[in-house]
Amino acid sequence: MANKEKLPEEDINLPYYHGALMNQDADQLLVNDGDYMIVMKMSPELNKMQLFLAVRLKKGIRRTKVLQTLVNWWIC
């Protein structure tokens, strides 16, 4: 993440932000089709935390990286 690895306080308190969770724990919280959450994961190759969007779909859980630029957030 771009700004010293810290999220703004208002982002941390959002109902869909769950911080660092293992995939198995996130999967148990995503029960219904369309359920989603933002989770943090350590990226060993970058040696920093990264944000991911996890969504329950009919075929299973889809995880997508969320990138932060100086101005916006992007889902890749």
Tens digits of residue pLDDT in 18-39: 667 888 988 998 999 999 988 8
Place 69 in a pLDDT band, splitting at 50, 70 and 90.
Answer: confident
Decide: pTM greater than 0.85. Answer: no
Domains and CATH numbers, the chain: 9-68 (3.30.505.10)
Q: Specify whether the CB–CB gap between 39 and 52 falls below 8 A.
A: yes
* Residue 36, number of CB atoms within 10 A of its CB: 13
Percent of the chain with pLDDT over 90: 28
CA distance 34 to 45: 30
